[in-house]
Structure 1
Amino acid sequence: MILISQSELPSSKIGSWTKLYKNYLEGNHAIDYIICPKPESKFTSVKYQYTSNNFIDKIKAKIFKKSHLSALSALKKILKNNENYIIQVVDNFKIVPDIVTLLGENGFQKNCKIQFCYHGFPPFLDKEKGVNFFQSIDEMILLTHDSYQAHLDYYTSLQCKFSVLPNGIDTSKFYPLDAFKKQKQKKALQLKSKNVFLWCSQDRPKKGLELVLEIWKKNSFPDSQLLVIGSTSNVNIPGVSFLGRIPNSDLPKYYQVSDVYLFSTLCQEGFGLSLIEALSCGCYCIASALGGVPEVLHYGKYGKLIVNPHSISEWENAINEYLILQDNPYKSPIDLYSFEKWRKSMNILIAEAKLRLTN
C-alpha cells in the first residue's frame, strides 16, 4: 500500500486531511510506503521515499514535461514486478495520468490499482478529462453522498468504483463539557460574556470572515462575544476578539467554551472538519448550506443551515433566533463523526481494494 502526498507527513501545516492521516498513521493503519516531501519527523511504522522540488528538479520536470517527476521516480524505486500494489493519491489529479504512463511503460498495470481520495465537493475535471480520468483509476473516495450525486449528474460515464468516507475527529479531545466545567473553562480563558460565538478557519475570502465581521459591525448582540481563530486584525470591532493562530492541541477548549459556531463558508466545502469539531463539542452550529455541509448536519437535524449564505440578514436572523432560544436543540451523538469510525472504514476500503487486485 503506497500513499502519495503533496504535503509532508506528518505535516506542520494546518489542514484537515493531513491531520486525519497523522492520526491514522499513528495507530492501526494499512499503509506500507509514503511518497512525500521530507518531513521534520517521521512515522516509524512506514517506509519513506522523499520527493523534492529544488531548481534541478524543476528543470528536469520542464524538460521531460512531467511536473511530478520526483514523485514518479520515488514510485518507480518502490515497484517490483512480483508484487501487487494499491497506490493511494490524495487530491492530486494531475499526477494520475503520469502514474498511469509510468505503470504502462514498465509493465506494472496488472499488479497496480489506483485509489483516489478527493476532499473537495464539486466535480474537479471537465467532462472529457473526467471520463478519461475515471477510466484510469480503480476507485474514487468522496466525503459525502451529495458529492457522489454531483459527479453522477455531471459526468456521462463513471467507470470506476465510487465510495464515500466522511471525515472523522478524535472524540477523546472534542467533546462537550457539563455546565459547571464549561463555566470554569470560560473563567480560565477570561471570557465574561454569557454567549460566546466562535469562527475558526484560515483567513481566506471564500471562508466568509468579512461577512461575519460585517454582522458584528452592524449589530450589538446582548452579552455576546465573537472569538476569531485563524486571523488577526488591527481593527477594533466591539464584541470581537482576534486570537490569531491557535495550536491544534488548544483548539478543543475554545470549541468547548463556545455556545455558537459560525461556519460561514462561501464556497462548496467538501466536508468541513472544524464544523464537526464544533458539533462534537456541543456547539449550536450555524452553517452555509453549500457543498457537503447540509449532509454533514443531516440536512438541518444537527444545525441551522443558511440557505442564502451571502445574505447578511439571514445570518442575523439565525443569530437572533439563538439568542432568543438560549438553548441548543440540535445536539448530535458524540461519536457521529468519530475518527475510529474513519480508521475502520479506511482499512476496509484498502482491504477491499487489495481483494479486487488479487481476484
Structure 2
Amino acid sequence: MKDKIRVLVSNLPLPYQGIGSWTFEFNYFLEKNKFFDFVLSPNKEGDSSYIFSAKRKWFPGSQFVRQKALTDWVAKDYLSELLKIGQKKLPVQILVIDDQALLEAVCTIKTQLPQGSEIIFYYHGHALKLNPSLAHLTDKVFFLTEAGYLESLNINNEFTPEVHIVGNGVSSVIFHPLVADEKTSLRESMGFERKDIIICWMANSRPVKGIHLFGKLIPKLLELDPRIKIVTIGHEPNTLWENDRLFQIGKKTSQEVAKYLQLSDYYFFTSLWKEGFGLSLVEAIKCGNFILCSDNGGIKDVVSTYPNVHLIDKPNILNSWIEAFKEQLLKPNVDTKQQFQFSDFEEFYSLDSWEKRLKRGLA
C-alpha cells in the first residue's frame, strides 16, 4: 500500500525537448521510472500525472508585496495543484529542482499538507544561502558535491536540513572513450589527422566560463606545436579567433558533442566562478581526455578520482594554463585508458549511479 505521494516540481517543462544539463538526466529518470506520482511543470502536453504548472513572471512593484505576489501569482499554479494532491490525505514528498522562489512558495503551504509531508530542494549551484526560516521548513537539500555542502555550511549561520550528495549523471552510452583505431577512424572521417594534437573547449559565451581568457590562450597554444588544433563548442562564433587550425562549431546535440570529445586529446575547462559541478567536464573525462581545469567551486571533488587531470589554482593567470599544458606535452604519450579502465569510464558519474544516489536521498 502506498505510504506517500511523490511530486516533482520543475520550472522547465518535463520531459524537456531542448538541450539542457539536469533536464537530460531527469528525462532519463522519468522515462525509466514510474517513481513520481505527479510532475508539475510548464509542459502543455500533460496528462493526469504530468500536470501543467507555469511559473508566472514577477510584475512591476511586486517587490513591495513579495510574499503575496509569490503565492498568489508567481507560483499560483504549483501551489494550487499541490494542495489538491494533499487532499488525498497521504504525506506528500515534494522535490523542487533548483528554483529558490518555488522552494519558498512550496514552504508557505507546508502546514496545509498532510502530516509527515516533506520538502526537498535539489540545488545545482555550488554554495547555497538560505534564510533560516526557509531552511527550517526544508527537510532535505541535495548537493552536487561535498565541497558545495561544506561551503554552504560555512556561509549560513544556521543550516538545518538533512543533506545528501547526489551529484549529476552523464550517459555512458553517448559519452565513452574509443580504442585507438576507432579514434583514428573518427578523426579521419571528420577531417582531422592521426598526428594532430587536438584541444577541445566547450561552454557558452559568458565571461564566467572564461571564454575571454581562452581567446587569449588560443594563439599561445597554437604556437607551441604545429600539430595542435583546437575545437571550440557551444559559443557564438568569434571572428577574432579565425585560424586554419581552429574550428568553432557552435551548439551541438549531445551525440555530436560526444564525437568531438572522443577525437580530442585535451579538454580545457576554464570556469571562473564557483562551479557547482561542471557537466561538460564529466563528459570530456568519460570520453578519455586529459583535463586541464580551474580549481574552483566543486570541480576538485568532481575530478578527484580521475588520474589524468591538472588543476589550475590560479585560473585568471594565462601562464598557469600554458605552463601546465607544456608540462603535459613534454611527457611521453600515455593512453588514459591504461590508467582508467573502460569500466571506470562507464561508472564515472553515470546516469545509473546518479539514479541510485537520487533514490537513496528520496527513500
Structure 1 residues 14 and 205: CA distance shift in structure 2, 3 A? farther
Q: Say which of 185, 194, 199 aligns to 1:197.
A: 199
Q: Say whether the 8 Å CA contact 2:126–2:298 is kept in structure 1.
A: yes
1:75 corresponds to which residue? 82
Structure 1 residues 165 and 248: CA distance shift in structure 2, 3 A? same
| Secondary structure of 1:122 counterpart | coil
CA distance in structure 2 between the aligned counterparts of 1:314 and 1:30, rounded to whole angstroms: 46
Structure 1 residues 54 and 65: CA distance shift in structure 2, 3 A? closer
Further displaced range: 68-77 or 249-258: 68-77
Q: Say whether the 8 Å CA contact 2:42–2:53 is kept in structure 1.
A: yes
Within a 5 Å distance, the mapping from 1:206-355 to structure 2 comes to 206-219=208-221, 220-222=223-225, 223-231=227-235, 232-238=237-243, 239-298=245-304, 301-325=307-331, 327-328=333-334, 331-332=339-340, 333-334=344-345, 335-351=347-363
CA distance in structure 2 between the aligned counterparts of 1:345 and 1:53, rounded to whole angstroms: 28
**2:187 is equivalent to residue 186 of structure 1:** yes
CA distance in structure 1 between the aligned counterparts of 2:43 and 2:229, rounded to whole angstroms: 42
Cα distance per residue 1:191-227 (max 9 Å; x no partner): 2361111111222111112211211134413111110
Q: Say which of 112, 123, 145 aligns to 2:128.
A: 123
Structure 1 residue 248, shift from structure 2 partner = 1.8
2:25 corresponds to which residue? 20
1:95 corresponds to which residue? 102
Structure 1 residue 68, shift from structure 2 partner = 1.7
Q: Say whether the 8 Å CA contact 2:121–2:141 is kept in structure 1.
A: yes
Q: Say whether the 8 Å CA contact 2:183–2:263 is kept in structure 1.
A: yes
Letter in 2 for 1:11: Y
| Secondary structure of 2:25 counterpart | helix
CA distance in structure 2 between the aligned counterparts of 1:348 and 1:76, rounded to whole angstroms: 26
| Secondary structure of 1:226 counterpart | strand
Q: Say whether the 8 Å CA contact 2:15–2:43 is kept in structure 1.
A: no
CA distance in structure 2 between the aligned counterparts of 1:118 and 1:313, rounded to whole angstroms: 34
Q: What TM-score comes out, normalization by structure 1 length?
A: 0.88
The alignment-based identity, stated in percent, is 26
Structure 1 residue 306, shift from structure 2 partner = 0.4
Q: Say whether the 8 Å CA contact 1:196–1:260 is kept in structure 2.
A: yes
Q: Say whether the 8 Å CA contact 2:107–2:134 is kept in structure 1.
A: no
Q: Say which of 29, 32, 35 aligns to 2:37.
A: 32
CA distance in structure 2 between the aligned counterparts of 1:329 and 1:266, rounded to whole angstroms: 29
Structure 1 residue 296, shift from structure 2 partner = 0.8
2:3 corresponds to which residue? none
Structure 1 residue 29, shift from structure 2 partner = 5.0
Cα distance per residue 1:92-125 (max 9 Å; x no partner): 1122232122233xx3152420011011112334
Cα distance per residue 1:59-84 (max 9 Å; x no partner): 9x898412222222232333224112
Structure 1 residues 328 and 202: CA distance shift in structure 2, 3 A? farther
Cα distance per residue 1:306-339 (max 9 Å; x no partner): 0001010000111212222253476542112111
Structure 1 residue ranges without an equivalent (≥5)? 352-359
**2:161 is equivalent to residue 149 of structure 1:** no
Q: Say whether the 8 Å CA contact 1:2–1:85 is kept in structure 2.
A: yes
Between the two proteins, the alignment pairs up a number of residues equal to 341
CA distance in structure 1 between the aligned counterparts of 2:313 and 2:55, rounded to whole angstroms: 43
| Secondary structure of 1:295 counterpart | helix
Structure 1 residue 233, shift from structure 2 partner = 2.3
| Secondary structure of 1:110 counterpart | coil
Further displaced range: 64-73 or 146-155: 64-73
Letter in 2 for 1:261: Y
2:118 corresponds to which residue? 113
Letter in 2 for 1:12: Q
Structure 1 residue 299, shift from structure 2 partner = 7.5
**2:3 is equivalent to residue 2 of structure 1:** no
Letter in 2 for 1:4: V
Structure 2 residue ranges without an equivalent (≥5)? 1-5
Q: Say whether the 8 Å CA contact 1:87–1:113 is kept in structure 2.
A: yes
Further displaced range: 278-287 or 69-78: 69-78
CA distance in structure 2 between the aligned counterparts of 1:88 and 1:288, rounded to whole angstroms: 31
Q: Say whether the 8 Å CA contact 1:4–1:89 is kept in structure 2.
A: yes
**2:90 is equivalent to residue 86 of structure 1:** no
Structure 1 residue 49, shift from structure 2 partner = 1.4
Cα distance per residue 1:279-315 (max 9 Å; x no partner): 0111001100000101111187441100001010000
Within a 5 Å distance, the mapping from 1:40-79 to structure 2 comes to 47-52=49-54, 64-66=68-70, 67-79=74-86
